[in-house]
Structure 1
Amino acid sequence: MSLLQAGMGGVAGAELACAVSNAGAAGCAGGYKLVDGALSALLDRLTAGTDRPVGLNLIPEVVGPDELDRQVAQVLDETPERVYVSLFGMPDDDAVFERVVAAGRRLVVQVGTVEDGARAAEWGAVVVAQGIEAGGHLLGRSQRDELIAALRAQLPDACLAAAGGIGSPAEAARAVAAGADGVLLGTAFVVAHESRAHSYFKAAVTTADGADTVITDLYEIGWPGRRHRVLSTAVTRDPGQAKTFIGRTVVEGKPYLVPRFSSAVPTDATSGRIEEMAMYCGLSCGAISDEISAADVVAEFARVLPSAEVVENKRRMESNVRR
């Protein structure tokens, strides 16, 4: 399927991922820092909720190489082959790529530069080109279609998906015209019924437009050193506030305090000053006005996206022409 769902930590639980996959697209749950029993619980729900391909997203720079290796081992040991591995950003070395590919798993890697995309493509990964129009943590500094065009020029046979600022079928069609084989949606799925985003977060996305988002590095507790696009809040407008606790949340049954400037998103298990928390949101929000089911999101975009068969045939034809 040429429509992928972003594995957004906290927001994309097994319920959303399975709903997307059951609708015929590629669903993905956010693994974030989960390991051991907490990760096993998520993987159990993920495999029980769908018999279709579905993924787990992991973040190399947040957990580090040792923890990433543990997470990957759990995915490979505890799930069937239809569960693919999705990486947000690049690992320190290619050992993770080698391990995933050797296990016969599909690999999806989100990148922000041509260099990283080329490295991921060498391992047969679906390369997701993220532009700065995207919500959440930003991996590069290029516009989406500029990055897609550059990647396509260097990687004519790669499977490329575009991410960033895609809130309507028309915008998805523009990304395909720029050279993408498909698209990855994040913000559009934040407001899905099955999303675990807090109701305040969902409502804020549906009433916002691109001008209500800002790129900042303020929400850095838990994920330092990375710029991100969020909805403008009292925190982004006044960054001199104290790093005090402003809420509570629960992750896989374990309670946590949420400090101001935390990178954690407000979920349906979060309480406190939701309006001050990190509400990741892309420029696509201007085209998103309703909370709908994940299946309806998939149906809306599928009509403008090429099928997997069309993508494969196109790549074969282009390869034959070059020969």
Structure 2
Amino acid sequence: MRATAAEVLGLDVSLLQSGMGGVAGTELACAVSNAGAAGCAGGYKLVDGALSAMLDRLTAGTDRPVGVNLIPEVVGPDELDRQVAQVLDETPQRVHLSFFGMPDDAVFDRVAAAGRQTVVQIGTVEDGLKAAARGAVVVVQGIEAGGHLLGTSRRDDLVGALRALLPDACLVASGGIGSPDEAARALAAGGDGVLLGTAFVVAHESRAHARFKSAVTGADESDTVITDVYEIGWPGRRHRVLATPVTADPEQPAKFIGKTVVEGKPYLVPRFSAAVPTEATSGRIEEMALYCGRSCGEISDEVSAADVVATFAPALTGAETIQSKERAESHVG
């Protein structure tokens, strides 16, 4: 019989936090892990000294299972290989590698050889089958999700399709989950846990800009749009964001509208940049990429990461309940 996300990753709660680049720093990841779920720090394009500094903070901040999120399509195979090598060399076994999109087979082999767990977020049945075949925890992303979209299917439809083909795989549902009731629906569709992104954007420990957090807590699902305008730094992907003056008028010039700091280095932010506004960002925040899922209608307050985990924990015991029921039915049969 299949295992829950909590059983596979050594957690108290079958809840994963999305490794959102810029927003999901080590403060958020450690707070989530210390609360009994799976925190995840966004590695994005960090490498060498900058990545090492982040990994040091991550492993110092929690002694619980925690992840590092990497994005194969953004950095390319050579830089991804360097990132993977650093994570494996510089962190203990309790740190798992989380990939947004499918890495190459060589990456799966390298992580498996190191005895680490792999988590892979996918948006299609084909990629779900491939990731499961390599022993990964498969995060099944529906188009209800905020941020970059990996497919065109709704969450429960994709979870159900993969569950029918993969009765024993560990599937984690993602997209549009803003309440315990919605988490329970995702489990009923075949999930073994859930991944939350938007709910953690507004956490106290999140690095999201204060105006970004306020925009999320004040929005409902009708305020989100799927668009491809925020492509500088991450071309070729549709993404769900809050509607902005930029999504309303994508013919504007791609001039600089702000500046930010990443691991101590300053950067200019052009209009149409895929970079999220963080607490280190200044300028026209309201025009930047405000990634937000359809779950925002259920999210009205800025709370601690531990409070988010505690709110969802009772519903997620349903993962274990469903597993127990299936085991009993299998034994009777």
Find the aligned partners of 2:282 and 2:85 in 1 and give their Cα distance. Answer: 33
Residue 164 of structure 1 aligns to which amino acid in structure 2?
A: G
Query: Per-residue deviation at 1:101?
Result: 1.2
Residue 265 of structure 2 aligns to which amino acid in structure 1?
A: K
- The yes-or-no answer on 1:186 pairing with 2:192 is no
TM-score w.r.t. structure 2 length?
0.93
Correspondence for 2:77: 65
The one of 296, 304, 312 equivalent to 2:307 is: 296
3-state SS of 1:142 partner: coil
Correspondence for 1:274: 285
Superimposed CA distance per residue, residues 173-206 of structure 1 (whole angstroms, 9 cap, x where no aligned partner)? 0000100011000000000000000000000000
The one of 128, 133, 143 equivalent to 1:122 is: 133
Query: Per-residue deviation at 1:105?
Result: 0.7
Find the aligned partners of 1:321 and 1:55 in 2 and give their Cα distance. Answer: 38
Task: Single out whichever of 11-20 and 93-102 deviates more from structure 2.
Answer: 93-102
The one of 94, 111, 116 equivalent to 1:105 is: 116
Residue 99 of structure 1 aligns to which amino acid in structure 2?
A: R
Correspondence for 1:283: 294
Q: Is the 8 A contact 2:191 2:319 kept in 1?
A: no
Runs of 4 or more, structure 1, over 3 Å off, are 307-322
Find the aligned partners of 1:87 and 1:238 in 2 and give their Cα distance. Answer: 32
Correspondence for 1:20: 32
Find the aligned partners of 2:326 and 2:123 in 1 and give their Cα distance. Answer: 23
Find the aligned partners of 1:193 and 1:320 in 2 and give their Cα distance. Answer: 45
Q: Please list every run of 5 or more consecutive structure 1 residues that lacks an aligned counterpart in the other structure.
A: none
Query: Per-residue deviation at 1:306?
Result: 2.7
Q: How large is the Cα RMSD of the aligned pairs?
A: 1.6
Find the aligned partners of 2:282 and 2:165 in 1 and give their Cα distance. Answer: 47
Residue 126 of structure 1 aligns to which amino acid in structure 2?
A: V
Superimposed CA distance per residue, residues 198-253 of structure 1 (whole angstroms, 9 cap, x where no aligned partner)? 00000000000011000000000000000000000000001110000000000000
Seen in structure 2, the aligned counterparts of structure 1 residues 88 and 99 have a Cα distance that, compared at 3 Å, is: same
Q: Is the 8 A contact 1:157 1:319 kept in 2?
A: no
Task: Single out whichever of 312-321 and 252-261 deviates more from structure 2.
Answer: 312-321
3-state SS of 1:32 partner: coil
3-state SS of 1:306 partner: helix
Query: Per-residue deviation at 1:313?
Result: 5.4
3-state SS of 2:140 partner: strand
Q: Is the 8 A contact 1:264 1:278 kept in 2?
A: yes
- The yes-or-no answer on 1:96 pairing with 2:77 is no
3-state SS of 1:255 partner: strand
User: What pairs with 1:112-191 in structure 2 (closer than 5 Å)?
Assistant: 112-191=123-202
Q: Is the 8 A contact 1:182 1:306 kept in 2?
A: no
Find the aligned partners of 2:162 and 2:310 in 1 and give their Cα distance. Answer: 28
Identical-pair percentage:
80
Find the aligned partners of 1:241 and 1:40 in 2 and give their Cα distance. Answer: 38
Correspondence for 1:261: 272
User: Between Structure 1 and Structure 2, how many residues are aligned?
Assistant: 321
Task: Single out whichever of 97-106 and 262-271 deviates more from structure 2.
Answer: 97-106
Find the aligned partners of 1:318 and 1:66 in 2 and give their Cα distance. Answer: 48
Query: Per-residue deviation at 1:132?
Result: 0.2
TM-score w.r.t. structure 1 length?
0.96
Q: Is the 8 A contact 1:181 1:306 kept in 2?
A: no
Q: Is the 8 A contact 1:230 1:281 kept in 2?
A: yes
The one of 206, 209, 216 equivalent to 2:217 is: 206
Q: Please list every run of 5 or more consecutive structure 2 residues that lacks an aligned counterpart in the other structure.
A: 1-5, 7-13
Q: Is the 8 A contact 1:56 1:83 kept in 2?
A: yes
